[in-house]
Amino acid sequence: MNMKRFGFMMTVPFVLLVGCGDGEELKTTVTDSEEVVETDAETETETGTSSVEDSGAEETETYESELGVNKIHMKDKELAITETMGSVQFTINQVQTSRLAVSQEYQDMFEGEEEVTVIALNMIAENTVDDTVSFHPNQATLVTNTGEQVTPDLWFSDDVGGEFLGKVKKEGNVLFFVKAQPEELTELKVVVDGPFDENYNQLANDRYEYKVDVTK
């Protein structure tokens, strides 16, 4: 199982994640040296292929790998969610929703589901002082307009939270899997607990809530 999971993690950046900059699709800090280039034709990557499907007036980005086929529904790279939480600066700057058709080999990692909807939020957390701070945005709660309440899949998400031993900055994708179809999603509520110090004293509010529009 460990070997399968390791292989899966090497595949994830090409099929699930939001990415960190203009022109960079589905990447994490682990694979910053690699790039997926979108063209009208199918493009080879190290672990799979990507393509753009033309369905009349609308194009659908599709990414394929050993994990399965992931079709992007919507993405917004210009979210403006920013919060100062004591010494912590927190940002959610990107969101992406997609539908993943899971290959049979990996369905056991998704509780046997053949398809799942993936919600990816790119988060940035930075401690601005030398003191140690604990903050866990990668354990946020997400509530959809369709009535689902879920927490991130920590195994597939980037390590954005935890202890910040001084002036540390962490950035990456936090992934949620839901049952609703991407086109059913219109608004998400993201609930994040505030940071605390080494003595478990809250540095700001106990809880923060944000609304994210995911209409296409």
Q: How far apart are CA 16 and CA 21, in angstroms?
A: 15
Mean pLDDT over each residue of the chain, to the nearest integer? 81
Domain 2-213, classified CATH 2.60.40.4170, yes or no: yes
The reported pLDDT for the residue numbered 53 is 58
Handedness of CA 178, 29, 22, 191 (dihedral sign): positive
Q: How far apart are CA 145 and CA 175, in angstroms?
A: 17
Sorted by where each begins, the domain ranges of the chain are 2-213
Q: What is the phi-psi region of residue 77: left when phi exceeds 0, alpha when psi lies from -120 to 50, beta otherwise?
A: alpha
Amino acid at 76: D
Average pLDDT over residues 137-159: 95
Residue 28: pLDDT above 90?
no
Identify the band that residue 1 occupies on the pLDDT scale cut at 50, 70 and 90.
Answer: very low
Helix, strand, coil tally for the chain in percent (to 5): 15, 50, 40
- Quick: pLDDT tens for 95-121: 999 999 999 998 998 999 999 999 999
The reported pLDDT for the residue numbered 54 is 54
The reported pLDDT for the residue numbered 105 is 92
Cβ 120 vs Cβ 158: under 8 Å? no
Which of 51, 44, 43, 47 is closest to 65 using CA atoms?
Answer: 47
Neighbours of 64 (CB within 10 A): 20
Identify the band that residue 48 occupies on the pLDDT scale cut at 50, 70 and 90.
Answer: low
Identify the band that residue 18 occupies on the pLDDT scale cut at 50, 70 and 90.
Answer: low
What tokens does 195 get? Answer: 């940071």
Cβ 140 vs Cβ 190: under 8 Å? yes
The reported pLDDT for the residue numbered 58 is 60
Which of 29, 9, 11 is closest to 21 using CA atoms?
Answer: 29
What tokens does 138 get? Answer: 């990668």
* pLDDT top residue among 167 and 27: 167
The reported pLDDT for the residue numbered 156 is 86
Using DSSP's 3-state secondary structure scheme, residue 202 falls into strand
What tokens does 205 get? Answer: 């509010």
Rounded (5°) CA angle 30-192-8: 30
Q: How far apart are CA 191 and CA 199, in angstroms?
A: 23
The reported pLDDT for the residue numbered 17 is 62
Residue 184: pLDDT above 80?
yes
What does pTM read for this prediction? 0.79
Q: How far apart are CA 66 and CA 81, in angstroms?
A: 34
